[in-house]
Structure 1
Amino acid sequence: MRRVDLTFVRQPALALAVVVVAAVAVPQYWLFLATSALVSAVALLGLGIVGRAGMNSLCQLSFAAVGAWTVAQLNVWNAPGTLIVWTLAGGLVAMPFGILIGLPALRLRGVHLAVVTLGFAAAAAVVVSAINFPGVDTYQQVLRPEFIATDRQYFVYAGLLFVVLALAVEWLGRTRMGAAWRAVRFSERATAAAGTSVARAKLSAFALSAFAAGLAGGLLAGQVGMITAQNFGVIASLALFVVAVMAGSEFIFGAMFGGFLIMFVPEFFRRAGISQDWANVLFGVGAVQALSQGSSIMEGLARRLRLRRPAPTPPPRETSEGGTPPLGEKPLLEAEGLTVRFGQVAALQDVDLTVPEGTVMGLIGPNGAGKSTLTDALSGFIKDAAGTVALDGRSLDGLPVHRRAAAGLRRTFQQDRVPTGLTVGAYLRFAAHRTVTRDELEEVRAFLGCPPMEAHVLDLDVGSRRLLEVAAAILARPKLIVLDEPAAGLAHAESLALADRLIEVPARFGASVLLIEHDLDMVRRACATIVVLDAGTVIAAGPPAEVLAKPEVARAYLGDEVALT
């Protein structure tokens, strides 16, 4: 029987307990500010979604204005469903605006994307200032249903809405969509190579972030009764973003803490006779501190808690005697005439490569030989590469990276590309790009000696992350796995142990392996045949012992005719 993972309810359940205690204990005078803090926390949850995907949005309150405008208009129309349904409608209406703003994120990132969202916030502020919100001219306030008519009842309603949204966000964070957000934040290339559409991941993050902001706008409309443009200014959006960075709105309690700061710090300053504008200065200093440390308040706290409960370390895998590398006959990958030019430089020149089915083939060559360029051309990262690529008889020409991965061509990278925001189990499930059982996960994890499922990737050494990336590629059950220097970060004995495991992959998991590696001992041990690339052309191919003894191969590596034996 499959075990149901309910750990995602922990933080929302604690948030619910906080709301219940506050509903009973908070004095009437502070109740309005506490409700406003929950409204801000809802908006911060939305910022946390785009934050998980590594994107910056400075226009969250512009989406909130859309939600508030929708609620005010439905109130004027006396539409059925009361405020609760209107608030949900406000969130839905805000989503297309989120997708619209998310479109530049497909090509922009960092400060350039932030400028675009800031421009939208400024434009939205001008628009809402030029046109009044529905009902303002006639002094028509947004009506609340009787069961949330009082301030205390409305606080409970806002708290329940926050908890439900928090529950949904936590659940989404454990789905493939949530893992895709984390993966995009760490490496868009690795996300695409894992078979996931980067565009879909980014747009879904912006759409759901706008939905949360729209809910916040609807909540605010119901709280104050009559909305004005001053509620959604550009400075307020900037302050919201700064607090999200400082507090860590990707976490449920980070959003709650951020909402508390936004509402109560200015009030404390006012009571102390200090200008409330100094609150934004304080938030800015906190954000700078968080950026300099590389983590928000809640992220740092979460990591310290993890370090107090370290995951068990798997025992080192001992090197075995090694088997016989499998040698297939039927062609699986067929690349013909691959040519890649960067300006006047030919990185690849008319390269032909055939990888048989059911084998482990090596691809070696000195630095700058074109191995990484060949890997990028095979996996679809170089769109203007000349030549043809076919996998198991199916042409891959013109297919984007994630489509080639779905067709059965998976790859790893030279650099560490495993997203640090996930656990080992979450990353393996995401990268598998299919439904996998826990037994399958444990089989592949144990096969390669990876850390336990509950371990966090952020806490792993480079060698463990490289093995984890190989395990993820195997779990996807592709037809071909291209491993780009998987032994980087591993000790020599661990490299040989990995070679022994790779020998078993074709028969055990049904995938051929193209191994790109500088460790020639590993290549000799794992590969039935190898191809040597130098200056963008193939200079030798055949069994390892024969190829490595050829003078032209020695010349490519050493500059003379010393045999590499």
Structure 2
Amino acid sequence: MRLARNVFPSRVWTPFVFGLVAIAVGWLVSILLPQTIVFLAISAVIATLTLLGLGIVTGTAGMIVLSQLTFAAVGAWIMSFFTMHEVPGGFYLYLVVAAVAAGVVGLLIGLPALRLRGVNLAVVTLGFAAAADMTLGKTQFPGAGQRVPRPEPFMDDRAFLFFTIIVLVVVAVIVFFLQNSRLGSSWRSVAFSERGTAAAGSNVRTAKLSAFAVSAAIAGISGALIAGQVGAPYASSFTTIQSLALYVLSIVAGTHLVEMALFGGILWVLIPELLKRWGIPQDWGFVVFGVLGIQALTTNSNLGQDIRNAIARRRRKTEEAKLVPFTDEQLAELGPVGVSESDKSVLEVEDVSVTFGSIKALQNVNLKVSEGEIVGLIGPNGAGKSTLVDTVSGFLPSHEGTVRLSGENINKLAPNQRATAGLRRTFQQDRVPPTLSVGDYIEFVAQGASTRDEIREALEFFGCPSPRTRIRNVDVGTRRIIEVTAHLLAKPKLLVLDEPAAGLSHEEHIAFGQRLQRVPERFGTAILIIEHDLDLVRTVCQRVTVLDFGELLAEGGVAEVLDNPEVAKAYMGETELL
């Protein structure tokens, strides 16, 4: 089920209309531009294409890649090789093969991204770019000196400019739909939090590798077009320093936004050309890009997003949760809170122990949550609550003991596999990607498990902002409510809530607790809640488990456990829990 298009109305045809308009404008540009700048315009369009691909892996997926022109060189190499050997199919087929070949190379180079981040990943991609640069410098392209023929009927510069614009528009439309798909949401999510991505049931490996592959494939297309533009590609068109400059320009312009990729492509051609006209060596263009990059990185901003924010400033406002306690009339209409009497377990934790060196974080902990039940997990700081939650959700696989979900041993399942199997969790820290809208995030997390009406009812029930609201425009407390709602809409068997009420006001605490009480009967989901707010624990939980120094201290009914003097002493350092 494609949730976004059914639940949150959008005009699917809009990008196609813009694409047709862009092609029409491109045709006018190709026939009206002075002949002296047509070749530069081709370069700007190809640079836009390259930056558009780079924006996926850098701006959207948040990985540092310094080898984009190396992927473009793969596309140019394919074009030259196929031309030299007169492979049947012609330019159009070569273009497709160039994209596929570059995508495969990008997939291989993306493998280190599964373990490396930040500067370490940048060094790997930079090393790849430098090695490829030296290799091309020594060997050159296949059939050096042999001209790569342009496709019919785009032989002359003006016609080829129009052809590159058509290719750019087609790729831009594809990128638009990818960015707004679940795959695109996974790219944004993995850039913000890999843990949050896995907890939503999405494969982090797939998200990273797909971003690399798509980005490299687009670069491969641009490299093939360069071969068609210049006739015979040269290694000097794909140097390491140019890849570095492209990365900086991508950061400066914010080329994860389609329109800003065009802006970046124009800058890529305009700045060196202006320097040339002013009698300044064009290599100084790299210095200009470097200065702009320093400004962007030090201010944590980019021109593209700054421009969008400036346009939307009058309309943008912070939205808070509209979460208020139920009235007496509403409570009467809802009826009494159901209490689970089921003995069928959803979660079973048996003799789980976790050791970090000489420190025993957990020692033979046992825990059970039954269907329709809300169980509290409490304890003082350092008691092992977070360790237990990480163990249950798969983020800490090195442990002794057994974790079962609905009777099935899930010890060997990865976090995203446990989420897909029906075990979801939220986090103490904010893991909701601010670059998504509420609707996009709901789609990404819920994975199509709920209908349109179910989603609308859930959003209203929890007082969430409208689906079109950007998450960056809501407060932290509201983000937590959105996170809980999204995971419930995935219809899991068990939802583990880690400090879900943090950031909420007192009134919102009461309202949130009233709604959590209704979750098992309304959503069919059992809850394990880790919470320091004992009022919330008393309100929503049917049973409580207490940890202290990694050991099970007490478990049972809420009143019984909280009245236990040993619990009071361990939890509060007092003899009574108020």
* Same structural fold, with TM-score higher than 0.5 when normalized by the shorter chain: yes
Q: Does 1:500 align with 2:506?
A: no
What TM-score results when the alignment is normalised by the length of structure 2?
0.94
**Residue 486 of structure 1 corresponds to which residue in structure 2?**
500
- Determine helix, strand or coil for the equivalent of 2:430: coil
1:79 to 67, 87, 91: 87
Matches within 5 A, 1:50-199: 50-51=57-58, 52-136=60-144, 139-199=145-205
> What do the CA deviations read for 1:278-337 (whole angstroms, capped 9, x no partner)?
211111111111122222110122223333323794773221367546334322110001
Distance 1:345 1:14 in 2: 65
**Residue 384 of structure 2 corresponds to which residue in structure 1?**
370
Identity over aligned pairs, percent: 48
- Determine helix, strand or coil for the equivalent of 1:317: coil
Distance 1:20 1:342 in 2: 65
Contact 2:449 2:491 in 1 (8 A): no
Contact 1:12 1:252 in 2 (8 A): no
Matches within 5 A, 1:345-384: 345-384=359-398
Contact 1:83 1:144 in 2 (8 A): yes
Deviation at 1:442, TM superposition (A): 1.4
Tell me the amino acid that sits aligned with residue 346 of structure 1: K
> What do the CA deviations read for 1:63-114 (whole angstroms, capped 9, x no partner)?
1111001011111122222212211111111111101110000000101000
Contact 1:313 1:452 in 2 (8 A): no
- Determine helix, strand or coil for the equivalent of 1:486: coil
Deviation at 1:10, TM superposition (A): 7.2
Tell me the amino acid that sits aligned with residue 354 of structure 2: V
Tell me the amino acid that sits aligned with residue 43 of structure 1: T
Q: Which deviates the most, 460-469 or 539-548?
A: 539-548
Q: Does 1:336 align with 2:350?
A: yes
Q: Does 1:48 align with 2:55?
A: yes
2:405 to 391, 397, 421: 391
Contact 2:377 2:546 in 1 (8 A): yes
1:29 to 32, 36, 41: 36
How many residues matched?
562
Q: Which deviates the most, 404-413 or 535-544?
A: 535-544
Q: CA RMSD in A?
A: 1.8
**Residue 230 of structure 1 corresponds to which residue in structure 2?**
236
Tell me the amino acid that sits aligned with residue 161 of structure 2: F
Contact 2:317 2:473 in 1 (8 A): no
Contact 1:266 1:279 in 2 (8 A): yes
**Residue 535 of structure 2 corresponds to which residue in structure 1?**
521
> What do the CA deviations read for 1:507-538 (whole angstroms, capped 9, x no partner)?
11110011111111111111111111111111
> What do the CA deviations read for 1:489-522 (whole angstroms, capped 9, x no partner)?
1111111111111111111111001111111111
Distance 1:480 1:116 in 2: 40
- Determine helix, strand or coil for the equivalent of 1:265: helix
Q: Which deviates the most, 323-332 or 35-44?
A: 323-332
Tell me the amino acid that sits aligned with residue 93 of structure 2: V
- Determine helix, strand or coil for the equivalent of 1:147: coil
- Determine helix, strand or coil for the equivalent of 1:347: strand
Tell me the amino acid that sits aligned with residue 302 of structure 1: R
Q: Does 1:415 align with 2:429?
A: yes
Matches within 5 A, 1:160-559: 160-310=166-316, 313=319, 316-320=322-326, 323-324=336-337, 326-330=339-343, 331-434=345-448, 436-559=450-573
Query: Unaligned stretches of 5+ in structure 2?
Result: none
Tell me the amino acid that sits aligned with residue 564 of structure 1: L
- Determine helix, strand or coil for the equivalent of 2:153: helix
- Determine helix, strand or coil for the equivalent of 2:353: strand
Distance 1:27 1:466 in 2: 56
Query: Unaligned stretches of 5+ in structure 1?
Result: none
Distance 1:377 1:50 in 2: 31
- Determine helix, strand or coil for the equivalent of 1:200: helix
Distance 1:474 1:306 in 2: 31
Distance 1:400 1:241 in 2: 33
Distance 1:298 1:383 in 2: 41
What TM-score results when the alignment is normalised by the length of structure 1?
0.96
